[in-house]
Amino acid sequence: MTPQSVPGMFRSAGRLAVGRDHILNLLEIVLDPLVLALSQWAVAVAVEGRLAPKDIILSLIVFSLTFPGPARLTMPPWRAIRHITLGWLTLSALLFLFGYASHYITEFDPDFLLTWWWVALVSLIGAHFLLHAAAPWVRELQGPPRCAVLAGINEQGLELARRLEKDLYSNVRILGFFDDRERLRDFDEYPLLGKLADMPAYVKQHRVAVSYLSLPMASQQRILNLLDGLRDTTGSIYFAPDTFVTDLIQGRMDSVGGVPVVAVCETPFTGINGIIKRGSDIVLSLLILALISPFLLIIALCVKLTSPGPVIFKQRRYGLDGSEITVYKFRSMTVMDDGDVITQAQKHDPRMTPIGAFLRKTSLDELPQFFNVLQGRMSIVGPRPHAVAHNEMYRKLIKGYMLRHKVAPGITGWAQINGYRGETDTLEKMKGRIDHDLEYLRNWSLRLDLYIVAKTIWVVLDRENAH
């Protein structure tokens, strides 16, 4: 592992945040819900002259949908604005659809709704930058900086120190490192304060508030000796083992029967997230199938009339947890390979039917997979399923390949909207697709799913990589 790779590893472990200031964290959690509710009340009073019961109900709905608010203080300004705008567009669209379907929207003056829409957006952006500007002052409310030392000069320790000092949430000042390796005395980024055996006495003498142990898991005896010495101090102790910078998938703290454990590889769809994911799949697939049903009949008729063979092509794929599933597609080729060796479709492939190339370029051949979604075999958004033969080949060539099966395969995915759509004729292209699939697993949210669905529409218009 190179030092350059460590920051990316830390970003992958997004849930294992360090140095989060409690006051700033609390303010960020309630910022969006409060801004939306208060802006709605203000507009209601300004437009309608009073705050009616319907306004209270709407504010409670909005507050519940946006609580807790997301963390944006460390984002660059342009990214924060984009995040806020996309989030409000998504939420306001859902509110509009719900209001239209329930006829609750007729209770509100159109002038009120339009005014609140842009006032809320401006207020969200303004509140974010106001909190960002006030963050140093808010952080000082916690008192003077907490002094910290680290045991072990290595990639994860250095990255932890750098992030603690740069993190807007952090109220920690790094005093230096302790390590037994003499060659590191020339290290000048942070002071080398002594050997590991000197650390407890230093912590006690200088009243160090926090000690971070960034030592390899193999150094068990050194860790135990250091912990024994630090127990005679009043400082807090945190363990940052090297497993925290491995390729975590949904890394987080948990407990099993009261025993603390660290999730190294887990599906994002546990508990309420699984219900949200499945519910959104059912609702969206039913809506989409209702809209495209005439096109399904037309495409089926065209496939049947232009070449001999069945309309629907069924192929075995790997689904959730690596179990085999049957995936439906409109037949676009004259062959229906589903054996141990399968040749990927290529540009100007002679096996294409007269309408097959068009179906693949426009991704219309994938439309029957919405029935797979209703069956629970697939999801609308997720890693694209590969043929069983391709899975068996690539799982031997690409490290972590099978981790993509921690979730149900999707009709579209993060890889597809980032240039990895269609033929993967080289190992590097397949690695790129797998990297994006795993990134999706680490960072899943309903907002991300909706963004991928919207972006897919634009990507489909660019037909260059679809064969």
**Cβ contacts of 116 within 8 Å, gap of 6 or more:** 39, 40, 43, 44
For residue 230, pLDDT over 80 is answered with yes
**Is residue 192 a contact partner of residue 176, using CB atoms and an 8 Å limit?**
yes
Confidence of residue 263 (pLDDT cuts 50, 70, 90): confident
**Mean of the pLDDT values across residues 299-306?**
90
**Is residue 329 a contact partner of residue 316, using CB atoms and an 8 Å limit?**
no
At residue 117, the pLDDT reads 92
At residue 118, the pLDDT reads 93
For residue 257, pLDDT over 80 is answered with no
Q: CA–CA separation, 167 vs 165, rounded Å?
A: 6
At residue 354, the pLDDT reads 78
- 177 membership: H or E segment, kind and range: strand 172-178
Q: CA–CA separation, 149 vs 117, rounded Å?
A: 48
pLDDT tens digits for 372-415?
Answer: 999 999 999 999 988 787 788 888 888 888 888 889 999 999 99
At residue 296, the pLDDT reads 93
Bigger pLDDT: 349 vs 437 = 437
For residue 9, pLDDT over 70 is answered with no
**Mean of the pLDDT values across residues 139-163?**
82
* Tokens 């910022």 sit on residue: 31
Confidence of residue 15 (pLDDT cuts 50, 70, 90): very low
Q: Specify the range with the lowest mean pLDDT, choosing from 119-123, 124-128, 178-182, 212-216.
A: 178-182
Residue type, 117: W
**Mean of the pLDDT values across residues 279-307?**
90
Bigger pLDDT: 5 vs 154 = 154
Q: CA–CA separation, 453 vs 417, rounded Å?
A: 9
Instruction: Supply the DSSP string of 34-76, one letter for each residue.
Output: HHHHHHHHHHHHHHHSS--HHHHHHHHHHHHHHPSPPP-TTS-
Residue type, 125: I
pLDDT averaged over every residue in the chain: 81
Question: Sign (positive/negative) of CA torsion 55, 56, 62, 63?
Answer: positive
pLDDT tens digits for 36-55?
Answer: 999 999 999 988 888 888 88
Asked, as a colleague might, if the bond just before 260 is cis with ω within 30 of 0, I would say no
Percent of the chain with pLDDT over 70: 82
Phi/psi for 149 (5° steps) reads -130, 160
Instruction: Supply the DSSP string of 300-366, one letter for each residue.
Output: HHHHHHHSSS-SEEEEEEE-GGG-EEEEEEE--BS----SS--PPP-TT-TTB-TTHHHHHHTTGGG
Q: Which of 7, 5, 20 is nearest to 160 (CA)?
A: 7
The burial class, CB within 10 Å (0-12 / 13-18 / 19+), for 398 is middle
Q: Specify the range with the lowest mean pLDDT, choosing from 121-125, 258-262, 391-395.
A: 258-262
**Mean of the pLDDT values across residues 58-72?**
84
**Is residue 177 a contact partner of residue 191, using CB atoms and an 8 Å limit?**
yes
